[in-house]
Amino acid sequence: MEMDNVAKFLQGKTIFVTGATGFLAKVLVEKILRLQPDVNKLYLLLRASDEKSATQRLYNEIISSELFRILRNHWDLKFDHLISSKVIAVAGDVSSENLGVRDSNLREKMWNEIEMIVNAAATTDFNERYDVALNINTFGASNVLNFGKKCDNIKLLLHISTAYVCDEQTGMIFEKQRDTINIFEERRIVEEQLNQLQNYFASDKTITSSMKELGQERAKLNGWPNTYVFTKAMGEMLLGNFKGDLPLVIIRPTMVTSTYKHPFPGWIEGVRTLDSVIVSYGKGKLTFFLGNLNSALDVIPVDMVVNAMVVSMQVHYADLQCSRETIYHVSSLFRNPMKVSDLRKFVHCYFTKNPWIDTNGKIVKVGKGTVFSTPNSFDDQNLEKLQRVAEERGIHVAELNFDSKSIDWEDYIMNIHIPGLLQHGINLKY
């Protein structure tokens, strides 16, 4: 057991997780079950037409994942019973009223039992259709909040955002929320354009293209680089403005990468953020990428983000004294930066020692190249404060680590992240 104090806290708790098939949420679900199998219940919201389809998605996309290998081996023949007795798949959709939970008996049961909600639902496509991103990232967050307010025993809403909601400012970005914009006007603009397109009998392809263009236009007009971060920022604004007395914690991770330690090093799903650069470089397709070698990359392993989430859940549970939301940037740049030049060196060294074999069976030789940089750094003083408060309350944060200073970047990139990316992210077989 990694952390007796947190295990005791989680015992008997009922937690509702949205976006459960996503990368971050999967790691959270596995973490909770491994820390405290005696959790009362985990309700997982999955987009599905009915409960049977939701349960199929639960097993096909979550439980069958390699991520659950340690838990599966530990419980052996009792693993299926653990899942069936503790995890409930809920068919629904965050973009709908009552989160699309149509079974009234199930809704009432959830409203009676749920104590904490973790909202990890999001569309992360930078160039998503504006109507889709607005419904999920912005008003989806509001729907989760409204659902939470109907829960009789709700003690905390934990919302997963992104550090890049801080728009296109440069330099140090502090942990404070930007003044709201007219979000309901944004919805009106979308509805108006959709109506116009439908009145002209526009094709699905034309509507999709138009909605994508509108998202980029509205984002840039309001000072954000893309539709994703713009709609996530507006989601935060709605939560902050309408949370009432419900304790609200917002977690803002930077670029999330493979697991550092738990449940095992190097697990990742798909090709994420800077991984496309690593893979393209290894294949010999990327020989250079404009950037500043002295700049730093702000990446953070997914298990550290989840550790910060779990600790913040305990620290802020039933925290009725806090009138405003609490925001935590989970990042590495402020405490333990990895330079672009470091990444270039690590990647070059890895693929020199472990060259890619192309489809013709030939070794791909790589040369040194330049990769990209990020202009922002994020103040994480609140995260440092979370660590202090947790220690004061007897939570062993050294065992549930989210301190980026502890990361040895060379070891992590060369021995954990790249091998994990190749094995789990793209299923490369050597």
DSSP E strands in 47-96: the ranges are 87-91
SS3 content of the chain, % helix, strand, coil (to 5): 50, 15, 40
Count Cα atoms within 13 angstroms, Cβ side, for 222: 24
CA–CA separation, 156 vs 317, rounded Å?
6
Read off the DSSP letter of residue 329: E
Beta-carbon contacts of residue 268 (< 8 Å; ≥ 6 apart): 23, 257, 258, 259, 275, 302, 417, 420, 421, 424, 425
Nearest Cα neighbor of 177 from 244, 238, 130, 94 is 238
- The angle, 0 to 180 degrees and rounded to 10, between the axes of the packed helices 302-316 and 381-392 is 60
Place of tokens 């349960």: 55
Q: Which residues pair with 300 in a beta bridge?
A: 256
CB 243 within 8 A of CB 326: no
Among the options 43, 130, 164, 228, which is catalytic? 228
- Annotation marks residue 228 as catalytic: yes
**Distance between CA 101 and CA 150 in Å, rounded?**
13
User: Where do we find the tokens 């330099």?
Assistant: 171
**Is 164 designated active site?**
no
Alpha-carbon distance 27 to 310, whole Å? 11
Helices 227-242 and 204-221 pack at an angle, to 10 degrees, of 70
Query: How do strand 338-339 and strand 296-297 relate by DSSP bridges?
Result: antiparallel
| Catalytic residue, candidates 13, 155, 212, 232 | 232
Is 69 in contact with 267 (CB distance < 8 Å)? no
Q: Which two tokens stand for residue 421?
A: 């990316």
Helices 23-35 and 302-316 cross at an angle (nearest 10°) of 60
What positions carry a catalytic annotation? 228, 232
